[in-house]
Structure 1
Amino acid sequence: MNTTSILANQSVSQKNVKLEDIWPELEGGISKILLELNQGFPIKKWMALYTHVYDYCAASQSKAGPKVGVSKQQNQSGANYVGEELYNRLNVFLKKHMKELLEVADKKMDESLLGYYFTEWERYTSSMRYINHILNYLNRYWIKREIDDGKKEVYEVYVLSFVIWRDCLFTALKSRLTSALLDLIEGERNGYQVNTHLIRGVINGYVSLGLNREKPKETILQVYKSSFEELFLAATEQYYTSESVKFISENTVADYMKKVEARLNEEVKRVQQYLHQSTETELISRCEKVLIEKHVEVIWNEFQNLLESDKIADLTRMYALLSRIPRGLEPLRATLEKHVQTVGLQAVQSIGSVGATDPKLYVETLLQVFKKYNDLVTGAFRSDTGFVASLDKACRRFINENAVTIAAKSSSKSPELLARFTDFLLKKSPRNPEESEMDQLLNDVMIVFKYIEDKDVFQDFYSKMLAKRLIHGTSTSEDLEGVMIGKLKSTCGYEYTSKLQRMFTDMSLSRDLLERFHRHLEQDNQQVLLGGIDFSVLVLATGSWPLQPPATNFSIPKELQACEQLFQKFYQIQYSGRKLNWLHHLSKGELKTKYLSSNKSGYSLQCSTYQIGILLQFNTEEELTTDDIQDSTQLIDNVLKSTLTVLVKSKILVSEPELIEPEDIGKGMKFTLNKQFKNKKNKIIINVPVVQQVKEEIDTIHKTVEEDRKLQIQAAIVRIMKMRKQLSHSGLMSEVIVQLQQRFNPKVNIIKKCIDILIERDYLQRVEGQKDMYSYVA
């Protein structure tokens, strides 16, 4: 048994206190606390009142027998605590106090009513905390027992005070209170200074009056929501409906969006200052509906103008506002896609035909458009996935089909120019960017590459240009070459770059082989057989390098024959059974002039092997005809003509009659060394291909791509049919396109031709009795 129980049992035998004896003093004390608490309340007086309550509540009713509902422990102790009459007296007293407060409140209006109500609420709730302590014994025993017995209309004293305030005062005043609150809030919205502390205090009272019958010590928001929030939200909706219609009719959309942004921020701040936090979601939702959703079409219509004017701040604001409402951004995404596509097409058209021949200008033009709108999407539109997708679609369209590709009658022009731009970056040149810029420039290449549909075309051009850079030693840096291949690999996978990586392996093996060859000559004292020629060779695997076989026969000059024979013999000893095919059309060398009186030290001429084969003949002959040169070199007509054209146009040779076009070269034309040749440079590169050669090379690459595509389509068809066994025509077409679209967009007519080829070759067959159905032939 606890100490309190012992005291209670002792007092039962000592006192039998009547309520009439203690109530006058209790009533006076409670009244004084309610009216004069701020003036202080003596502790002795407080203890005396507490003792009265204790003595009264602890009085025994054991003679009357145990009360129904009394706990087992109470029955055993023989004590039945009283308090019902005291509880009823307190109830009547508090209701009387409410009546007095109401009489005063009825004479007040608007803000003065709010001030009076808030002051009395603060006084009342503070006082009732003290009164609750005085009546604590009543709470702990009689009231607790009644509540445990299921009495719904019995509350702890402090909770009772709230119930009485709500039922006897608040219910009568709530309409006027809420109206006054809404007037103050509207005044604040109109720019007037208001007493936010007063508003917060009254509204907190609304919240406190939401009593939970199941859990009396907890509050629910029923009173706050029904008596204030619902009316507040309706008033808010009405206020902003009127304001928004007026404002948007008198101002620009940009100004309207600033107004909306400010209003939404004000409402959030309003919740933080004096509303319950649960109101924020519904309040902002209502504001968004009135301020944004009802005017959304006007806002949508302004988007195009803001894009054209590059109003980034307004676009940022528009995104932030429209992202608040359902489907608010969808029309903007479609508009952005169309706008970016238009701007991209106009940008390419503005560079005209120059773009088709200037890869740097072309790629930089594409990147300029992309970067501008990518900054917009990542900044103003916060990398929204929908806007990212719109940008991607637009870039894919104008990069793959624009004025340059239309003029070239091929969507493959973009990957070709991108490959040429990459070649420009990675090839040694005085115009090369700084090394610090290179990684960003290669990233820029990959941006455009991402949107290229014909990635196989880029691969073919890139591999051929890489092969030339490696063979001729013109790469800026092998490290940068590796970086670029790594970027391609991360985007397209290992298979896409496997041959490119093997090319680097071949270069490394070739360097080792050449070192062994020179050591072999030194050991056998055979260097003299090279005739003083600084000879080097690259041995490259046929399957890894995109190198075409020579288009012509060629009789190598006798000065170089010994070099080739020595290496061939050495290689056959090293690798028995392997065959070397010499690619003279890709080889080059350096000749030194000794025939010019104007330059006794001589010029160094960087020449192709075909040019070397022609020029070396002038060591023994003063003049040669076209037939003489062809007999000695065995070059076919078109190769001979193009080679001679370069030598004449570079003024190394002089033709008679004068050469104007390669077609002018005939059998009777004579050629001599130009004894008056002069040049500002001592080292002269003359093995530059003519335009016709470049065009033929491009055409060859495109033909190769087309043939490779047919093979890839056929392979994809066989893979699909082998797995599916039977498939409809439309299903097969769809699956082929899905499988191959990462490398290129296969054309429907080509797929159909490939299906026919595979049927002829007995890989597929048409299913009898079923239209457009194929089956796999095992």
Structure 2
Amino acid sequence: MIPDLLALRKFAELIARDAFGEDPDDPAGERVWRNSVLDAFEKGFAGRVKKPAEMIAKYIDQAMRKGQRSASDDEFNRLLNEALGLYRFTKDRDVFREFYIRALAKRLLLQKSASDDFEMNVLKILIERESLLCIYLHPSGIDRATDDKFFEKGHGMFSDLALSRDMIREWQNLPSHRDDKEPLNVMVLQHSNWPTYGLGQVILPKDMERSLSSFVRFYKSKHAQRKLDWAHSLGTVTLTARFDAGTKELSVSLYQAVVLLLFEDGGSMNFQDIKEATGIEDKELRRTLQSLALGRKRVLTKVPLSKDVDDTDVFEYNAKFTDKNRRLHINSIQQAETAEEAKQIAEHIEEDRTHALDAAIVRIMKARKRLGNNKLTEEVIIAVRAHFVPQPAQIKKQIESLIEREYITRSDGDRNTFEYVA
């Protein structure tokens, strides 16, 4: 969708340049044309609620993961600018922010981003454009707490990672860790700066557990009152694997690594034994075994060979595995997880919208004390339209909810007029 929209916009600009570029006597004609193009884009975006905003965020995510490749810095920045130029047309800016911030978090945590400099540049562009949008939409200076929170999160992520790098360097330079052959790298993140992730249960191998405990003691010596929760579902490991055809370096998830290390001395294990040995949740373990035994890079074999993992299946290390590359990345199978995550994002967006409507209604009623239904609906739309454009039915639902919670009440003489409850 996004490449096609960018191509269409370029085509419209070429028409404008060819038609009016050499005609200084017809600036009005050029202005009419350009305004018509802008109106067409706005109407097109409005016709597909939420989806364009989501697609812009995902397009930028793909660009950041691929990197600039043969493009120069200026060319890559121009590509990002063009994609972000479509942001102005969507009314679902909260949807864009939610998908963008989650994708940014994954890129940073999994070290899949092309460049921190480009990431910071995108945040800078968004801040500038969001400021212009809010000046246009909110000339009276209505509260911008939601935008500020979004950009604080973005900068907070980079700050957390920078502090983590300094801390892990200090820990690794301790005499007891200088000669570690299998170094541990830890990212210490503040909950407020990052999306919520499942912590994930897993029984770590003794060497991993020993390193983790050592880091916890080091961290507690500096921050005794803080609590560390481990998001093992985000962990990654690099393993050296020996096959008949030679040695390979495998880049895998923590769950995949814990499973593979069970076969360090060969042998075979059934599903139930693996589950007991690793402590990984049933659904997650089945996905992990699928990725190792049924994906493109089958470093485990499964008997019987079928597309699903059953309780009675038996797994064995695939010593005959071959691949032309020495360094391999084994993807986790995440189709079901992605669908689940999309559902969580949709629920989170709706929850945030509910809170935003509640806050806007209460703030307006507190200032006005008494308002009719139509006027209140109009003012609420104006108050939140920098983030999304609510439907009257959504506003009505929240008005009824606030009446039930006794924030506002209906006027005795007119059910379509509301009064603020002090």
CA distance in 1, matches of 2:299, 2:70: 29
Change in Cα spacing, 1:389 to 1:716, as seen in structure 2 (3 Å) is farther
Per the alignment, residue 157 of structure 2 pairs with 503
CA distance in 1, matches of 2:32, 2:66: 42
Which one-letter code corresponds to 2:10 in the other structure?
Answer: K
Per the alignment, residue 759 of structure 1 pairs with 403
Per the alignment, residue 585 of structure 1 pairs with 233
1:765–1:776 Cα contact (<8 Å) kept:
yes
Which one-letter code corresponds to 2:302 in the other structure?
Answer: S
CA-CA distance at 1:776 after TM superposition: 1.4
Per the alignment, residue 666 of structure 1 pairs with 310
Deviations 1:396-424 (A, max 9, x none): 222343xxx5xxxxx22222221111012
Alignment of 1:11-50 (within 5 A): none
Deviations 1:570-604 (A, max 9, x none): 1111112111110111111101102x1211xx111
Residue aligned with 2:250, SS: strand
- Residue identity (%): 30
CA distance in 2, matches of 1:756, 1:556: 51
Decide which of 206, 209, 220 is 1:561's aligned counterpart: 209
CA-CA distance at 1:621 after TM superposition: 5.3
Residue aligned with 2:201, SS: coil
- For the pair shown, the structure with the greater C-alpha radius of gyration is 1
Alignment of 1:431-510 (within 5 A): 433-493=71-131, 495=148, 496-510=150-164
Change in Cα spacing, 1:768 to 1:704, as seen in structure 2 (3 Å) is same
Per the alignment, residue 136 of structure 2 pairs with none
CA-CA distance at 1:501 after TM superposition: 1.3
1:425–1:433 Cα contact (<8 Å) kept:
no
Unmatched 5+ stretches in structure 1: 1-361, 406-410
1:626–1:669 Cα contact (<8 Å) kept:
yes
Per the alignment, residue 398 of structure 1 pairs with 44
The alignment status of 1:372 with 2:48, answered yes or no, reads: no
Deviations 1:134-193 (A, max 9, x none): xxxxxxxxxxxxxxxxxxxxxxxxxxxxxxxxxxxxxxxxxxxxxxxxxxxxxxxxxxxx
CA distance in 1, matches of 2:2, 2:70: 16
Decide which of 503, 508, 533 is 2:182's aligned counterpart: 533
Change in Cα spacing, 1:395 to 1:430, as seen in structure 2 (3 Å) is closer
The alignment status of 1:514 with 2:168, answered yes or no, reads: yes
Which one-letter code corresponds to 1:514 in the other structure?
Answer: I
TM-score by length of 2: 0.89
CA distance in 2, matches of 1:759, 1:460: 30
CA distance in 1, matches of 2:289, 2:413: 65
CA distance in 2, matches of 1:557, 1:452: 49
Deviations 1:341-388 (A, max 9, x none): xxxxxxxxxxxxxxxxxxxxx211001112222344465363755444
Change in Cα spacing, 1:488 to 1:430, as seen in structure 2 (3 Å) is closer
Which one-letter code corresponds to 1:511 in the other structure?
Answer: R
- For this pair of structures, how many residues does the alignment match? 397
Deviations 1:236-294 (A, max 9, x none): xxxxxxxxxxxxxxxxxxxxxxxxxxxxxxxxxxxxxxxxxxxxxxxxxxxxxxxxxxx
2:267–2:316 Cα contact (<8 Å) kept:
yes
The alignment status of 1:655 with 2:302, answered yes or no, reads: yes
- The structure in which a higher percent of residues are helix is 1
Change in Cα spacing, 1:458 to 1:432, as seen in structure 2 (3 Å) is farther
CA distance in 2, matches of 1:429, 1:512: 26
Which one-letter code corresponds to 2:254 in the other structure?
Answer: T
Deviations 1:404-446 (A, max 9, x none): x5xxxxx222222211110122124585744331121111112
2:372–2:418 Cα contact (<8 Å) kept:
yes
The alignment status of 1:644 with 2:289, answered yes or no, reads: yes
CA distance in 2, matches of 1:701, 1:432: 34
2:45–2:52 Cα contact (<8 Å) kept:
yes
Which deviates more from structure 2 when the two are superposed, residues 698-707 or residues 384-393?
A: 384-393
Per the alignment, residue 747 of structure 1 pairs with 391
- The structure in which a higher percent of residues are strand is 2
CA-CA distance at 1:620 after TM superposition: 4.2
Change in Cα spacing, 1:714 to 1:432, as seen in structure 2 (3 Å) is farther
Residue aligned with 1:716, SS: helix
CA distance in 1, matches of 2:197, 2:107: 16
Change in Cα spacing, 1:428 to 1:515, as seen in structure 2 (3 Å) is farther
Decide which of 271, 277, 284 is 1:632's aligned counterpart: 277
Per the alignment, residue 137 of structure 2 pairs with none
Residue aligned with 1:603, SS: strand
CA distance in 2, matches of 1:756, 1:433: 54
Change in Cα spacing, 1:704 to 1:433, as seen in structure 2 (3 Å) is farther
1:733–1:748 Cα contact (<8 Å) kept:
yes
CA distance in 1, matches of 2:343, 2:408: 33
CA-CA distance at 1:759 after TM superposition: 1.7
The alignment status of 1:727 with 2:375, answered yes or no, reads: no
Change in Cα spacing, 1:430 to 1:673, as seen in structure 2 (3 Å) is farther
Change in Cα spacing, 1:390 to 1:430, as seen in structure 2 (3 Å) is closer
2:94–2:349 Cα contact (<8 Å) kept:
yes
CA-CA distance at 1:543 after TM superposition: 0.4
CA-CA distance at 1:774 after TM superposition: 1.2
Unmatched 5+ stretches in structure 2: 21-25, 132-146
CA distance in 2, matches of 1:703, 1:382: 47
Change in Cα spacing, 1:578 to 1:745, as seen in structure 2 (3 Å) is same
CA-CA distance at 1:727 after TM superposition: 1.2
The alignment status of 1:412 with 2:50, answered yes or no, reads: yes
Per the alignment, residue 389 of structure 1 pairs with 35
Per the alignment, residue 2 of structure 2 pairs with 363
2:301–2:316 Cα contact (<8 Å) kept:
yes
2:203–2:278 Cα contact (<8 Å) kept:
yes
Residue aligned with 2:269, SS: strand
CA-CA distance at 1:690 after TM superposition: 2.9
The alignment status of 1:604 with 2:253, answered yes or no, reads: no
Which one-letter code corresponds to 1:372 in the other structure?
Answer: F
Higher relative contact order (CA 8 A, sep 6+): 2
